[in-house]
Amino acid sequence: MNIEIANRLVELRKKNNLSQEELAAKLGLSRQAVSKWERAEASPDTDNLICLAKIYGVSLDELLKTDVSEEEIAQDVRNHQAEEDGDEDDNDDDSSDAYAYASAGGKAYARAGGKSKMVHVDTSGKSLKRRLRFGKTFAIISSINVFVITIAYIVLGFFLPHGEGWRVYWTLFILIPVIESLLSAIKMKNASHFAYPVLMAFIYLFIGVKWDIWHPTWALFITIPIYYSVVGIARTYSVD
């Protein structure tokens, strides 16, 4: 590991009033493993880097910021690879060590099980590959959502008498961002991502357009600050 990063790990641990034993206990590792990181004799794997960033309350970019060039990082990886290849016959366990090196642009260069690879990690510590997979799934569900609501509006428009379908059920299109925000809230496990105000707008408009009841349904909007207050309190207690 780069000595600059090793020194930062020491500084962050002391800043958070943690001993090596306490940090190791949080990570489920031995004190020796933490000690090796801080002496630049070994490097945390990607999962441990993410855990360290969360424990210290910093981003991976801040945790792994270094002035070392990518060429030097790559050379360091090759040197470690050569050392491990030389020791492979003597100690098979060495091949399971993982080395991670940071560079600009949210990329972490890692070596696990004797193989070097580049892992894309964003500043929140989440794998971009996993986020991209969710993005594709989200796009598919979003397309289905739009298609189903559009078809429902057309069918209701043609089959309901007196043009009620065309007059009333255009409000269904407001549900598109509501459903998408619900999926996002479930994925992120964060209720504040849910478009609650848009849902209230849909209910208000639907009742008003269909039954001409605009009062006192406007009171629905008073629940919006209540919703976010409850969500904020719940998140505070969940963090504690």
| pLDDT on residue 118 | 45
CA-to-CA separations, 179 to 114, 205, 225, in angstroms, rounded: 45, 17, 20
pLDDT digits (tens, 9 = 90+) for 72-97: 656 665 665 665 555 544 444 443 44
**Domains detected in the chain:** 3-120 (1.10.260.40), 128-239 (no CATH)
| pLDDT on residue 43 | 85
pLDDT digits (tens, 9 = 90+) for 110-160: 444 444 444 444 444 445 555 556 667 778 888 899 999 999 999 999 999
| pLDDT on residue 200 | 97
Q: Which position has the higher pLDDT, 197 or 85?
A: 197
Handedness of CA 158, 163, 164, 165 (dihedral sign): positive
The answer to whether 123 and 61 are in contact (CB under 8 A) is yes
CB atoms within 10 A of CB 1: 23
Q: Residue 98 above 60 pLDDT?
A: no
Two structure tokens written together for 170: 């255009």
Looking at residue 67, the DSSP 8-state letter turns out to be -
Two structure tokens written together for 190: 């964060």
pLDDT digits (tens, 9 = 90+) for 25-46: 888 888 898 998 888 888 888 8
